[in-house]
Chain A
Amino acid sequence: MFEFCTAPSALDDLRWMACYLTTGKQIAFYWSFGTVLLLLAVTAPAALAFGFLGALASRSRVAPLRWLGTAYTSMVRGIPDIIFFLFVPIALDQGLEWLRHKAKCPDWDQPVRQGSDFLVCAEAKLPLNTAPQWVHESYGFALAVLAFAVVFGAFAANVLSGAMRAVPRAQIETAEAYGMSHSQAVWRILVPQMWIYALPGLSNLWQILVKATPLLFLLGVQDIVYWARELGGSKTSTFAYPHPDWRLWYFLGLLVFYLALTSLSERVFARLSHRLSLGQATAAGEKHRKAAA
């Protein structure tokens, strides 16, 4: 980075540190914070969509759909989320490969599971063996995102179905009295109003999601935990920048990052709650109305 970094061993402490903190690997570590934020940015809307569908399904008038929705929302209560994080990516991976295998190699006569191997024909591999490295990496990341979305979708479905029940019945009845159909009442009255009831649960969920992001490491994504372990481990004098075991300091850095992230989002949600309660049939909404009048 700096010109004086060519011979690190001859530097004084301050410059050594400046050079150390700007090596290529350190920069990769800084970028991995972006990976975490990207995961959050992609997963939060995806989980919300999964949750919305789950909540609608659990209120559906079609019985099988309702059972499916209920099963989906209740599965996260009894089972640790980390099991899903370990299970969903590998199960999805094998499921997709198996489907492609069925479609692309119909004349393959050997079983897919042979002892402790899972064998599909070369054309069915995901991603293909010939694919470049970045495809492999983003495929792994996509599977991780999907696992997060499935698990947090179930949490969100729980929150949203509670919020749908919390919208005052009188509001729906008024809509029906105005001659709205069932779907009109849902989309024009229920859905716009449910968010304020869902917000405490959703803000909680966001905090949970933030705190679940280190689990990316378990899924083999090169995230901040991976880099903290990699860079913090003690480096002998064969390395350009030898240092003792600094993993504790790296992890303390991550701790500060997460504390900042959670306390920042707490503040954002407080403001959002203020905004969303404008014009609502709740105590907070009433307070706004009185303040304005």
Chain B
Amino acid sequence: MSCAGVIEAYGLRAIGIGERLLPRSDFTLCDQVVLIGSGLIWNVYFGALALLFGFCFATLLAVARTSDHPLLRRPADWFVFVFRGSPLFIQFFIAYQAFVLLPREGIEFNLGLVEITAQTRWLTKAWAGALIVLFLNTSAYSAEIFTGALRAIPKGDLEAAEAYGMGPFQKFRRVTFPTMLRLGWPAYTNEAIFLFHATTLVFFSGFPAWQQQGDALYYASYFADKTFNPFIPYPIVAGYFVMLTLCVIGLFGAANRRLNRHLAPSQRPRLRIRPQLVR
């Protein structure tokens, strides 16, 4: 098969489009590059959606953690403690086992007149179950970052907002939230990078790959197992991830410039990538 044929057959294999069977023998470099690249779709899917939802939830959590009300603060603190204090690997296992234990035929809610059956099977599939775990996990890590940023907001900024007569909500929307983002952004970039890295764990923990539709590392280890030669597939997947990381840095760097555009150039914080947040 020519390389164009391989791309046609396996380019979207990870989401079930194209050839059904994976290549079995005589692996070419093209096979490996294409199939591993198609697996990257899953990494981007998990990473992007978990970041998107996680960002919103993390903001809520950070606000709850800085609140004076113990009923808001305590649960948020506990949530962050549990998800930051335990390995993501174990969290995947627990989530999968818990989802499997849900009744097969769904849960029936009796709302007086109507009965609603909530389907639960989809939760055991990686696309939903693993996404939920990654979402909760990144929420906890990002909430820690945002809490620190909220506490570091200069008090003069807040006093100035009050002096302008802003109400609590307006103050949050126009002063607190943008400043929090600005202060937390370098650390949040880090979190985003390592969240993308963490997506490689999905198919190595509890969640099985359905019909051999896995992520980049899943296919890389498939090739490494079949050829018994780790020196080709793993560098390929590493190369893909370096590119993905550079894309994340580029996107978040653009956001960082926008968040800091009102500052003098010498005062703008630079993005420094530090491995602080691996799980």
State the A residues within 8 Å of B (CB): 76-83, 86-87, 90-91, 94, 113, 116-118, 155, 158, 162, 201, 204, 208, 210-215, 217-218, 225, 228-229, 245, 247-248, 251-252, 254-255, 258-259, 262-263
Contacts and interface: CB of A to CB of B under 8 A. Distances in A.
A244 B190 CA distance: 42
Interface stretch (B3-11, B150-158, B250-258, B270-278): B270-278
B224 A248 contact: no
Given A255-B94, A259-B86, A158 B275 contact: yes
Given A113-B229, A118-B229, A82 B200 contact: yes
Contacts of A158: 274-275
Contacts of B101: 245, 248
B230 A259 contact: no
B88 interface: yes
Given A225-B93, A251-B93, A83 B86 contact: no
A270 to B, nearest CB: 15
5 contacts: A81-B197, A91-B231, A113-B229, A218-B204, A251-B93
Contacts of A76: 275
Given A77-B245, A245-B101, A94 B230 contact: yes
B170 interface: no
A263 B88 CA distance: 16
A116 B241 contact: no
Contact of A78 (B231, B234, B241): B241
Max chain B CB contacts within 10 Å: which of A76, A162, A258? Answer: A258
Contacts of A259: 81-82, 85-86
Max chain B CB contacts within 10 Å: which of A76, A79, A80, A118? Answer: A80
A156 B100 CA distance: 39
Nearest to A158: B275
Contacts of A215: 89
